[in-house]
Amino acid sequence: MSNGSRNQKAVPEAKNALRQFKYESADEIGVNVPQDGYWGDMTSRECGSVGGQMVKKLIEMAEHQLIQGR
């Protein structure tokens, strides 16, 4: 993989949407996003906070879809 990631997306077409979602989540919790897109200099705590926020929001979305009967 060219970007160094070993994680494969379940829906590869969602890659850009997930990237945007990551940046939005970071902004919501006040984590300064690297302008060059390289997250390697971020602390584990910062990256974990962003990932945790993403999971929280994804679970919330799934719960809403379940309630709506989708």
Residue 47 lies in domain: 12-30+42-67
Gap between the Cα atoms of 48 and 1, Å rounded: 23
CB 8 within 8 A of CB 16: no
Please count the structural domains in the chain.
1
Residue 35 in domain: no
Residue 6 in domain: no
| pTM for the predicted model, two decimal places | 0.78
Q: Flag whether pLDDT at 2 surpasses 60.
A: no
Residue 20 tokens, joined: 């945007």
Segment 14-44, tens digit of pLDDT: 889 999 999 999 999 999 988 898 999 999 9
Residue 60 in domain: yes
Query: What pLDDT does 52 receive?
Result: 98
Instruction: Output DSSP code: residue 42.
Output: S
Residue type at 50? V
Run of H or E including 54: helix 44-67
The mean pLDDT value of the chain amounts to 89
Percent of the chain with pLDDT strictly greater than 70: 91
